[in-house]
Amino acid sequence: MLVTSKKMILNAQKGGYAVGAFNIENMEMAMAAIQAANDLHSPIILQTTPGTLKYADLSVYLANVKALAEQVEIPVAMHLDHGSSFELAMQALRTGYTSIMIDGSHEPFEQNAEVSRRVADACRPNNVPVEAELGKVGGKEDDLDGGSGNPYTVPSEAKEFVERTQVDYLAIAIGTSHGIYKGEPKLDFDRLAEIRQVVDIPLVLHGTSGVPDEQVRKAIAGGICKVNYATDLRIAYTKGVRETIKDEMVIDPKKYGTLGMKEVYDLVSEKIKVCGSDGKA
User: 9, 169 in Cβ contact below 8 A?
Assistant: yes
Nearer residue to Zn ion within complex by CB, 5 or 38: 5
Site string for ligand 13P, 231-250 (x = CB under 6 A): xx------------------
Identify the H or E element spanning 130: strand 130-134
* Interaction between residue 162 and ligand 13P (CB under 6 A): no
Number of residues that bind Zn ion (CB under 5 A): 1
- Residue 23: contacted member of Zn ion, ligand 13P, Na ion, none (CB under 5 to 8 Å, by partner type): ligand 13P
Q: Which of 79, 206, 271, 280 binds ligand 13P (CB under 6 A)?
A: 206
Is 178 annotated in a binding site? The answer is yes
Q: Which of 61, 229, 237, 256 binds ligand 13P (CB under 6 A)?
A: 229
Look at residues 67, 84, 73 and name the one whose alpha carbon lies nearest to residue 40. 73
* Interaction between residue 23 and ligand 13P (CB under 6 A): yes
Minimum Å distance from CB 241 to ligand 13P? 18
Residue/partner pairs of 48-51 with CB below 8 Å, 24 or more apart: 48/23, 48/24, 48/79, 48/80, 48/81, 49/23, 49/81, 49/82, 49/141, 49/142, 49/230, 50/82, 50/83, 50/84, 50/88, 50/142, 50/144, 51/142, 51/143, 51/144
Q: Which of 117, 136, 206, 226 binds Zn ion (CB under 5 A)?
A: 206
Q: Which residues bind Zn ion (CB under 5 A)?
A: 206
